[in-house]
Amino acid sequence: MSSPASQTALHHALWGVGLAGALWLGLRWFERANIYFPSRTLDMDPASAGLKFEEVRAETADGVAVHGWFVSDRPESPVLLFSHGNGGNISMRLDKLMIFRRAGASVLLYDYRGYGKSTGRPSEAGTYADADAVYDWLTRTKGTPPERIVFYGESLGAAVALDSALRHPCAGLIMDSPFTSVVEMGRRLFPFLPVRWMVRFRYDNLSKIARLDVPVLVMHSPQDDIVPFDMGRTLFDAAPQPKTFFEMKGGHNDGFLESGAAYGDAVRSFLSSPTPKPADADRRTR
């Protein structure tokens, strides 16, 4: 039989393991709760704005069903593959969809796993896989040439778009209100916490952007009330040529509206610029 002392030590060890497990689970919950803010309800669709659209249903390599909308009636137009921010879902991006349509683009909007009608639960690797699935749908199912595809992302979506542009043939990249990394955002929001040791989801744009080999448009507002303006400037400075910076007006969520026609004009100008590098090789590294 074991002694009372050994039983006490065992109880303490088990208590410690349980506490560590609870702490780990708590940190994972805290991380997800402060990065992803999904909404399941689609309040509108492109038809609400008078646009014809096609339902997109694509499956990821890990079996997640990704839902989106494809708005295109111009066979030769550039296609914006739209990765949205961390809140809501695609039904909350119709104003921006209309701006892009007026700029001459076809648009594929999709929801990450756990958002809208997409199944699953969001994660960094998951959002990248979701973008892969809709890119494959666009190029393989629809037969869209990669040289017509421009990755567009807003806020967190800018990180997804950048990662996609590094791994897939494309014509260019648009980053709207991007952050340098989740770790740096966390440091600024929670300076009293050891953020680097608390988060697994990094979305480290700054460490990636120098590898970009297609034209990039970075858009940011000095009045951004969520993602600091200097982060957009830092990313722009680190990006290789050819690159363009558009200074927006207004806050994080309404800057594209506060900027007026200039926002759409900047997108139109970027899309109409010649793309010096052919998109003729699959860059997937995962």
- The pair of structure tokens assigned to 77 is 């137009």
- The pair of structure tokens assigned to 274 is 């010649």
- Residue 223 carries which DSSP code? T
| pLDDT value of position 3 | 64
- Residue 240 carries which DSSP code? P
| pLDDT value of position 73 | 85
| pLDDT value of position 9 | 54
The C-alpha atoms of residue 72 and residue 79 are separated, in whole angstroms, by 8
The C-alpha atoms of residue 251 and residue 249 are separated, in whole angstroms, by 7
The CATH code belonging to domain 39-272 is 3.40.50.1820
Q: What count of residues does the chain have?
A: 286
Domain ranges of the chain: 1-35, 39-272
| pLDDT value of position 53 | 98
pLDDT along the chain (286 residues), means of 10: 57 42 40 80 97 98 98 93 98 98 98 99 98 99 97 99 99 99 89 78 97 98 98 99 98 98 98 62 40
